[in-house]
């Protein structure tokens, strides 16, 4: 399968917006590992999401909006928002 790693700037539920980091060919599990490794290489100062592959000849030159995040469980996202409280 083909995925894209995205540097997350905004997140709303399971949708993310941000800038292209790199494409990834492999399983979703290996894409998750690559995303976490990219975060670690950047001293965990960025958040990297796995999204469906972006089809573009110049993906790095665009800001990508409202893409579905594939590397987290949507139920876990919902619980994390609820646990923050008012």
pLDDT in tens, 26-48: 999 999 999 999 999 999 999 99
pTM of the predicted model, to two decimals? 0.84
2 touches 50 (CB < 8 A): no
- Alpha helix segments (H runs only) across 6-73: 28-41
Q: Are 39 and 19 in contact (CB under 8 A)?
A: no
> Where do the domains of the chain lie?
2-82
DSSP type of residue 42: T
* Segment 72-82, tens digit of pLDDT: 876 655 554 44
Of 43-52, 53-62, 67-76, which gets the smallest average pLDDT? 67-76
Name the percent of the chain lying above pLDDT 90: 72
């Amino acid at each position: 399968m083909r995925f894209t790693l995205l540097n997350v700037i905004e997140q709303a539920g399971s949708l993310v917006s941000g800038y292209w980091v790199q494409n990834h060919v492999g399983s979703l599990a290996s894409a998750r590992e690559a995303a976490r490794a990219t975060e670690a290489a950047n001293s965990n100062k960025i958040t990297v999401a796995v999204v469906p592959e972006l089809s573009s000849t110049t993906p790095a030159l665009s800001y990508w909006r409202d893409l579905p995040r594939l590397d987290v469980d949507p139920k876990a996202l919902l619980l994390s928002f609820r646990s923050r409280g008012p």
